[in-house]
Structure 1
Amino acid sequence: MTIKIGIASNHLIHPTERFGTNFVDYIQRDYVTGLRHAGTLPLVLPLGDPKDAEDYIAGVDGLLLSGGQGVTPILYGEEPLAEVAETDIYRDQFEIALIKAAQKADKPVLGICRGMQVINVALGGNLYQDIYKQAGATEKHNQYPTSWEIPTHHVTTTDDSWLHQILGERFAVNSFHHQGIHEPGDNLKVVAKSDDQVVEGIESNDGRIIGVEFHPEMMRVVHPEFQRIFDYFAKLATENQ
């Protein structure tokens, strides 16, 4: 039976030179490719009303949440700092509803970068709005303009974690963020950190929700070991069939 993975879309909220005011929902191709190479059928879920989340989740075997804007601080009880930059509360609210619907249906969730952060907020945790100002980060966590597929700093995993199982104790990753997990949400544990103690991986106590702060979808072609993240997630999704 085909494993179907829903990918929550991002959407343009500003006019652009190419699209003008013809706003679009979209997902970067790399996420789709990673899921396809894991033997799954990716389905892009357009940004919608939170009340429709359970219907969307009913049609898939797992949920992937991608990168993008910062998560709106008011959703975890804080006033936004100047460093937050762009947020999109409509996307936040829809993805939070999807996460809760997936959890209710016992379907696995994979969060990548922002995706990991919004999982944490959905489950009652909070974020550092800026890891440099609030968490004392010292490494370069936004490597732009360095090419996306090039690893730029190391992470270390915990011994009993899913990341340790598939990628080992220590490895180098890329990085494109300035927010990060502060206090983990309910039933979430930190399973990887950078050398300056920024959270780089999470896992729920039951192992059904996983997340990474880096971008394996951008590295998997040049560094094929990162395809294992998508393969592992596909295996979690087969348990629903």
Structure 2
Amino acid sequence: MKPIIALTADALVKPSPVINENEAPFTPRGLVEGILAAGGIPIVLPFPQKVSEAEEAAQAALKTFDGLVIPGGPDIDPTLFGEEPIPQIGRTNYQRDAYEIALIKAAALQHKAILGICRGIQIINVAFGGTLYQDLGTQDPQCAIQHSQKAPGQFPTHHVTTTPGSQINQIVGAKTFVNSRHHQAVRTVAPAFKATAKAPDGVIEAIELQQGDDILAVQWHPENMWQEDAGSLALFQDLVTRAGKREDNE
């Protein structure tokens, strides 16, 4: 049986043009197709509207999937890592933050395979005690390249160097050419993790566990590039492979 891969949903800010639904859940089409191309079966998990229901919803969702993707989306609420919002922070979604943190922690306890993408690397890091730059341009004096690209999203714009022997190194190689659409980034890496890829200016582009291969997260968007980039597709194939191993052991 093919592994089932859950994708956490974002919510439309405006009413849906099809059925006029407020805050309709959605997930990127490129991500759905990438999981299918890698051999997985994607399902979408909307977040509950009440923060008080996040834990219960996360526990209920656990039995439905073998692997989990936390995709891109709005900024992370800085109060979750002990800071107040600076003027440069963008739109946040506290309900989604709360649900994803609960879901990540619950899935990790069951050793389910997890892949974080863009916002995903940030919320995973926060879930386990790390911090973020709320805005690279104003908070990171070393930031020297464009991390919120003006080029179309499917085009790579800067290089990333990976740590030899790391999980990400084995998947995409020593150096890879990635797209980039973010202004927040990992600042202090959570204790259970290590940074294993960086941009030329030192911005962290991937984190993974100190021990084990359950969780891998990247700052770029492979869902926009997998059709033409082997490394991007390999990230989804790696997730599906890890999820399949967990399924076989159950």
Q: TM-score, normalised by structure 2?
A: 0.92
CA deviations 1:155-186 (Å, max 9, x no partner) are 10000111111211112110000000011113
1:180 to 182, 185, 198: 185
Classify the secondary structure of the residue corresponding to 1:147: coil
Quick check: 1:67–1:114 contact (8 Å CA) kept in 2? yes
Gaps of 5+ in 2: none
Aligned to 2:35: 35
Aligned to 2:222: 216
Taking the TM superposition and a 5 Å limit, the aligned residue runs for 1:224-239 are 224-239=230-245
Quick check: 1:15–1:22 contact (8 Å CA) kept in 2? yes
How many Å separate the matches in 1 of 2:24 and 2:100? 17
Classify the secondary structure of the residue corresponding to 1:6: strand
Quick check: 2:2–2:244 contact (8 Å CA) kept in 1? no
How many Å separate the matches in 2 of 1:55 and 1:16? 27
CA deviations 1:19-47 (Å, max 9, x no partner) are 75632000010111111111110000111
Quick check: 2:163–2:196 contact (8 Å CA) kept in 1? yes
Q: TM-score, normalised by structure 1?
A: 0.95
Inter-CA distance 195–54: structure 2 relative to 1 (3 Å threshold): same
CA RMSD in angstroms, aligned pairs only = 1.4
CA deviations 1:62-103 (Å, max 9, x no partner) are 110000100000011001011111000000000001001101
CA deviations 1:112-141 (Å, max 9, x no partner) are 000110000001111000112111211010
- Establish whether residue 149 from structure 1 lines up as the match of residue 154 from structure 2: yes
Taking the TM superposition and a 5 Å limit, the aligned residue runs for 1:11-22 are 11-15=11-15, 22=22
How many Å separate the matches in 2 of 1:23 and 1:203? 32
Quick check: 1:149–1:222 contact (8 Å CA) kept in 2? no
How many Å separate the matches in 2 of 1:29 and 1:17? 17
Gaps of 5+ in 1: none
How many Å separate the matches in 2 of 1:131 and 1:139? 10
Aligned to 2:94: 89
How many Å separate the matches in 2 of 1:21 and 1:217? 26
Quick check: 2:16–2:24 contact (8 Å CA) kept in 1? no
How many Å separate the matches in 2 of 1:208 and 1:17? 38
Q: Which amino acid aligns with 2:46?
A: P
Quick check: 1:6–1:57 contact (8 Å CA) kept in 2? no
Quick check: 2:72–2:117 contact (8 Å CA) kept in 1? yes
| Aligned-pair CA distance for 1:224 | 3.2
How many Å separate the matches in 1 of 2:39 and 2:135? 37
The number of residues matched between the two structures is: 240
